[in-house]
Structure 1
């Protein structure tokens, strides 16, 4: 097992190469975020960890302190489409990497469309995609 030091703490690596972070280092990382106002990204870069991991430690620390963690608004949005017009045939799929195109993934169907498409035509494309599944 390899070892190295971060902030005076010994970090060990498992046989698979993953870092084994001591709890004391996690507490120090979250303290720096909480008390010093450092970002999770800055702390992660300093210790050589992934930012998502440091954010996970921070959330766990906040929860252990009794803080309620909530996200404003819904996590997902429903897409309801109502259209009286019959669906139109979608344009042939393109593999354009131009910035003038958008893409919507609906299950196994990808809808590519020009960004200047009208809302009504986009609704028709999504309806057609729904029928293809």
Structure 2
């Protein structure tokens, strides 16, 4: 294992290149976020770590303190079912259509869509909202 120093802390690195982050460094990262107002992205850049890892440390520390962690994102998406005829280029049969609206994104799809493809559409809509 090789070591490097960040903020005065020794960071052991495995032969495969994985950093082993000491608990004291994690506490210091959380302190800088809470007390100094640094963003997880700023801390991650200083450490050479992924931002999601620093966020994970911060959330874990907040949970350990008893804080309630909430996601302010939308919990539900509006789904409207309509019966519409298809365009002239498509077959002339009527089919039930559904619409998912997530933020400013609206996606229409047939109600006969399979569950896996519907899940892909919902993920795509959520990522662009």
Give the TM-score normalised by the residue count of structure 1: 0.64
Question: SS of 1:81's equivalent?
Answer: strand
Distance 2:26 2:75 in 1: 28
Displacement of 1:70 after TM fit?
A: 1.1
Distance 1:76 1:53 in 2: 27
Give the TM-score normalised by the residue count of structure 2: 0.66
Question: SS of 1:61's equivalent?
Answer: helix
Gaps of 5+ in 2: 92-105, 115-129
Distance 2:57 2:113 in 1: 43
Distance 1:76 1:9 in 2: 43
Does 1 or 2 have the higher relative contact order (CA < 8 Å, sep 6+)?
1
Q: Partner residue of 1:64? A: 64
1:91-133 Cα offsets, whole Å, 9 max, x none, are xxxxxxxxxxxxxxxxxxxxxxxxxxxx8xx64xx12xx5464
Judging by fraction of residues, say which structure has more strand: 2
Gaps of 5+ in 1: 91-118
